[in-house]
């Protein structure tokens, strides 16, 4: 348990070998920060983010070709 924004914690948790990562804190910007760090470490992992700001979700979906539900 710890702050997933710390790269070493993601590595200890196995992000390099992970097939997927679910990121669901209550803060959209923290979720995005964690996703970017995870993507830099493992470009093949599927990332699932919780975003509460619909406008931000639309911008990310369009700008980064993310799927959205």
- Per-residue pLDDT for the chain (69 aa), expressed as one digit of tens each? 788 898 889 999 999 999 999 999 999 999 999 999 999 999 999 999 999 999 998 888 887 777 766
- The pLDDT score that the predictor gives to residue 62 is 85
Q: What is the pLDDT of residue 67?
A: 76
Say whether pTM exceeds 0.75: yes
Pick the closest to residue 67 from 43, 49, 40, 41 (CA basis).
Answer: 49
Cα distance between residue 3 and residue 1, in whole Å:
7
């Amino acid at each position: 348990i710890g702050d997933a924004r710390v790269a070493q914690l993601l590595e200890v948790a196995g992000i390099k070998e992970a097939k997927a990562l679910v990121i669901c804190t209550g803060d959209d910007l923290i979720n995005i920060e964690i996703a970017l760090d995870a993507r830099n470490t493992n470009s093949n992992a599927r990332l699932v983010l919780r975003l509460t700001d619909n406008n931000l979700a639309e911008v990310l979906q369009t700008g980064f070709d993310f799927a959205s539900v």
